[in-house]
Amino acid sequence: MLTVEASADSVERRLGAGELSCPCCAGTLTGWGHARERSLRGPAGKLIRLRPRRARCRSCRVTHVLLAVLALARRADTVDVIGSALAAAARGAGFRSAAAQLGVPAPAVRGWLRCFARRAGPVRAFFAVLLAEAGPDPVMPAAAGSLVADAVAAIAGAASAVAARWPQLGEAPVWQAASAASGGLLLAPGWPPGVRNTI
């Protein structure tokens, strides 16, 4: 799986130009059909249909699904919706009020928050490293009062670093930048590397 920009036209163009590299061996990826269509729940419950492109590496021949930066692996909501819930929690909201603000079922929000809280320390460290690599004088966010808030602050701080590293995303919204930096794995098992997660 490889995270790419949301624009299908841009992905197609880069695929055609041989600009996408295999995450396994850095070989050149070529188009290889499509993965099955999926729907994501976006802001205000709006359904967004995605038909992810599939690509195959010319060198190692492994196929990869090109997951749009809007999506996170194993999650049915866009990363913008999930990120808004995490940001609300960072500001001290409980899962019920975050869910009510977003119009999302409360159990889903509870699941995201639990999952994120469990890895908040390593997530903060991951994005702090990204931020530190960004420029000569990075400004580390001050402690925000909770592990979750610190992790969310680090993600926000690293967004511009992400824009520099993945220029095709342009100035991506903060949570899309987090999706890109995690390869879509922000809430997936085993991410960041070295963390054991089951949800």
Interacting residues toward Zn ion by CB under 5 A: 22, 24-25, 27, 57, 59-60
Residue with tokens 């999650």: 75
Nearer to Zn ion, 1 or 117 (CB): 1
Shortest separation between residue 21's beta carbon and Zn ion, angstroms: 8
Q: How far does CA 18 lie from the centroid of its chain? A: 24
- CB-CB neighbours of 132 under 10 Å: 13
Nearer to Zn ion, 24 or 199 (CB): 24
Of 100, 120, 99, 117, which is closest to residue 108 (Cα–Cα)?
99
Nearby residues of 150 by Cβ (< 8 Å), 6 or more positions away: 120, 124, 141, 143, 144
Shortest separation between residue 58's beta carbon and Zn ion, angstroms: 8
Helices and strands, number each (H, E), in the chain: 7, 6
CA distance 36 to 88: 32
Shortest separation between residue 29's beta carbon and Zn ion, angstroms: 8
Shortest separation between residue 31's beta carbon and Zn ion, angstroms: 15
